[in-house]
Amino acid sequence: MMQIQTTENKDLNTLPAKQNLLALSFEEVTLFLSRLGWKRYRSEQVLSWIYKQFAADFESMTNLSKSDRRLLSEKAVLSHLKVVTHQKSSDGTEKFLFELADGKQIETVLIRSEKKRRTLCISSQAGCTLDCNFCLTAQEGLKRNLRVDEIINQFLSVQATLPDEESITNVVLMGMGEPLANLNAVTAACERMISPMGLNLASRRVTVSTAGLIPQIKTLIAGPVSVNLSISLNATTDEIRSRIMPKVNRLYPLKELMAACRALPLPPRRSITFEYVMLSGINDSLEDAARLVQLVKGIQCKINLIPFNAYPGALYQPTPDGQILRFQDWLHQHKIRTTIRKSKGRDILAACGQLTSEFEN
Ligand code: SF4
């Protein structure tokens, strides 16, 4: 008999006592339920409860009969993240520290911006595989990759705390970790985010950020999941990039990275966002701006300037606002689309580069 493997590479024929439905793809959920004798439309009902109505357990799936709910509870579970702390910033940003089943901790940030935009910044690893030295997460080192259910659960857990009239509209994989170092789980999670059977977000509202892992960028762009790509550039010379992002720049120096970007078969009307953290006296001169113009020449892109968010013990200082504006002005004069990221959640250390499982023992 053909053996069927799950996304976690487990054999569905030798399942654990209870199967975590969030660890399964949609097809695997359907297969699992068919083994219980359920028709296909019933799996659509269950998936709708999980991904559209954010049901926390089987008991709340009220269009299933009581006996079916009992059977599901005997055979399956929906995994959860434990909330360790939940902080709210004066600007409406919220930071969640979650504990995973093995005790590792991760952070997720909800950013409220103009109108009804609600952006969730999701973690893809506990700690990080890279060592960017302007980033607090890097100090933890890599603890482990997150599984697909742990990535998706960050969305489900935060959405469950919001009132009915408030929905997460955008997702950025820019929390703790290098998403493309956990490519399979990240791709599977993105698929569930944009699928009409899943969270049904528009694909242009989901962004995967990377420090510049070239092979994985190529795999992501060539794959079936079409999401936005954002690359942390942060320097215009190898000397500076190797100083502030040593590991990734040693693997993939600037010239190679930009050549790879130039050759990417981007879908029509898609562009790459280059993130650029502004570090005072390090990468923020007008000479840097001029080099940046040359670096991105021929690439359909936008530059996002990020004011550096200091934290206790940080090696760098933020660039003064006036210099950020001059830098932006230079790029505008050279017809490069450039935005300045509004910093959110600084008072609760939820801003970009400030994430760490600081409560961990
Ligand atoms: S900036 Fe991103 S990739 Fe670099 S160490 Fe921090 S979390 Fe990892």
- Does pTM surpass 0.85? yes
The rounded Å distance from CA 19 to ligand 1 centre is 33
What confidence category does residue 352 fall into, taking pLDDT thresholds of 50, 70 and 90? Answer: low
Over residues 209-240, the pLDDT tens digits come to 999 999 999 999 999 999 999 999 999 999 99
Specify the fold of 82-348: TIM Barrel (3.20.20)
Write out the two tokens for 198.
């899943």
Strand 105-112 relative to strand 94-99, pairing: antiparallel
d(CA 236, CA 37): 60
Number of Cβ within a 10 Å radius of residue 114:
6
Which residue owns the Cα nearest ligand 1 atom 4? Answer: 132
- pLDDT above 70 covers a percentage of the chain that reads 92
Q: Is the CB of 194 under 6 A from ligand 1?
A: no
Specify the fold of 12-77: DNA polymerase; domain 1 (1.10.150)
* Topology match between the domains 12-77 and 82-348: no
Instruction: From the CA of 176, give the closest atom in ligand 1.
Output: 7
Domain ranges of the chain: 12-77, 82-348
DSSP string, 188-216: HHHHHHHSTTTT---GGGEEEEES--HHH
Share the mean pLDDT of the chain.
91
The rounded Å distance from CA 315 to ligand 1 centre is 15
Q: Is the CB of 137 under 6 A from ligand 1?
A: yes
- The arithmetic mean of pLDDT across residues 140-164, rounded, is 96
